[in-house]
């Protein structure tokens, strides 16, 4: 089984579906946002507050490039990680199955909630989410092997559908 990489906007379920897929198939898993948090010892919101978005992107870039160079089998990337050209090149070079998870605004907003742990969409979530999602859409699509909607579905359901798609592609 080659590597599986999850990309997509905030709230699309990259972490929950990635984790569920790794569990279902018995594969190793890394969530790069969780790695940024554990390596820096700070929450994403704290990193944005102290270093700004550019400081966060530098940390994220290092963590994501290291994850892509490792042999972790299932990777969930932060929604904006694909903005970096070197990350885009590394994803293409990794020959993994890249799964772009899509989600409608209504479902995304209910998942994002008001927890304040997503600084880019913390103020005016609806407007900000639409803005970042539509501007990144061409990048997500250009990298994707599979595009999968997670609207109204449980992470385990989406993971199971993906496991079957990947399984049949490898038969």
Contact residues: ligand S3P, CB under 6 A:
10, 14-15, 33, 44, 78-80, 118-120, 132
Nearest distance in Å: CB 4, ligand S3P: 16
With beta carbons less than 8 A apart as the criterion, state whether 141 and 5 touch: no
Residue placing its CB nearer to ligand S3P in the complex, 6 or 97: 6
Q: Which residue has the tokens 């293409």?
A: 92
Residue placing its CB nearer to ligand S3P in the complex, 113 or 167: 113
Rg (CA), the chain: 15
Nearest distance in Å: CB 78, ligand S3P: 3
Nearest distance in Å: CB 168, ligand S3P: 28
Nearest distance in Å: CB 98, ligand S3P: 15
Residue placing its CB nearer to ligand S3P in the complex, 147 or 169: 147
Residue placing its CB nearer to ligand S3P in the complex, 26 or 85: 85
Nearest distance in Å: CB 15, ligand S3P: 6
**DSSP codes joined into one string, the chain:** ---EEEE-STTS-HHHHHHHHHHHHT--EEEHHHHHHHHHTS-HHHHHHHHHHHHHHHHHHHHHHHHHHS--SEEE--TTGGGSHHHHHHHHHTT-EEEEEE--HHHHHHHHTT-S--GGGSSSHHHHHHHHHHHHHHHHHHH-SEEEE-TT--HHHHHHHHHHHHHHHT-
């Amino acid at each position: 089984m080659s590597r599986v990489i999850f990309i997509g906007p905030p709230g699309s379920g990259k972490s929950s579906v990635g984790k569920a897929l790794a569990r279902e198939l018995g594969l190793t898993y890394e969530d790069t946002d969780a790695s940024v948090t554990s390596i820096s010892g700070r929450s994403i919101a704290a990193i944005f507050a102290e270093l700004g978005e550019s400081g966060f992107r530098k940390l994220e870039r290092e963590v994501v490039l290291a994850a892509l160079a490792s042999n972790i089998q299932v990777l969930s990337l932060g929604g904006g990680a694909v903005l970096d050209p070197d990350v885009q090149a590394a994803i293409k070079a990794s020959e993994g199955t890249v799964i772009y998870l899509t989600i409608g605004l209504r479902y995304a907003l209910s998942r994002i909630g008001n927890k304040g742990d997503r600084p880019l969409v913390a103020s005016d979530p609806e407007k900000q989410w639409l803005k970042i999602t539509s501007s990144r859409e061409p990048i997500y699509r250009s990298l994707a092997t599979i595009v999968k909607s997670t609207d109204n579905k449980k992470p385990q359901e989406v993971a199971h559908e993906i496991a079957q798609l990947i399984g049949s592609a490898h038969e």
